[in-house]
Amino acid sequence: MNPFSTIGIFSKREGKAVEATLHTLHQFLTERGVKILASGAPAKILQLPETDEHQIAQQADLAIVVGGDGTLLNAGRLLSTYNLPIVGVNLGRLGFLVDVSPDEMTHQLEEILQGQYHEEQRCLLYAEVYRGQQTLGAGTALNDIVLHSRNEIRMIEFTTCIDGSFVTTQRADGIVVATPTGSTAYSLSSGGPILHPSLEATVLVPICPHTLSNRPLVVNSKSTIEISLCSQRPVDSRVSFDGHNNIELISGDKIIIRAYQEKMHLLHPQNYDYYHILRSKLHWGTQL
């Protein structure tokens, strides 16, 4: 029996590969009697009635995301709130999350619809931003929450505390606070470690620190991380959530980061191998 009778489709907005994959996916699901819900680009391309994304999240048993990691990140932040499992079909380039190939999509989805899949849960981060007692905003991130300068290349001075304990005051171009999922994104390019997705951990990676002894720090995901901009060095900056939803900051502002209460549920084909993805995407073992 198919455990997924209603499926929501999310995708990138444009491109011949997107359209071709969506039509193949639509035909595959229709032939199996699956109810299909779509909004935005998929609804337009497939000429389906448009359904609000939140309604899809509430009504569907499974979400299929067609695109790259960025597309899945956008969908994941929404769908994690509803504990809706996600399958990613890879139309991107360097992707660590979307691992179903369009060429093998129908075969792999057939197995998934029959309940043959590997499931994992991915942590998210949640941050609130304060100016004194005023709340400037809040947001969630599947990859990372990043503090960085706003309009010019200047070092920011900030203090970091973890679970109420002072850690350090440092000058840097910023700091990346990443989940294990985000450890292969901006964090990795900033010199951070790769964290296995199963770890309940958060990594703090300074961006081009003034003092080279400032190194990445891995803490328990249950920790509360507080980053305060020092008033002695007034540099306009911003905090970004997965590269989006920027909140503008001034000296004295504070960011409080915690683990988000919900997790993203990601389904993979049965032959899923995280280390194979690392070898493939990072070209480990390649003879030059």
**Mind telling me the catalytic residues?**
69
Look at residue 64 and give its three-state secondary structure: strand
Q: Which amino acid is at 17?
A: A
First-last CA distance in the chain = 49
CA angle centred on 43, ends 40 and 49, rounded to 5°: 115
- 86 neighbors 72 (Cβ within 8 angstroms): yes
Q: Which residues pair with 234 in a beta bridge?
A: none
Question: Tokens 């999310």 appear where?
Answer: 10
Q: What is the DSSP letter of 231?
A: T
Helix 105-113 to helix 16-31 angle (10° resolution) is 40
Burial level of 288, CB count in 10 A (0-12/13-18/19+)?
Answer: exposed
> Which pair of structure tokens corresponds to residue 188?
């990795």
Question: Tokens 């964290």 appear where?
Answer: 195
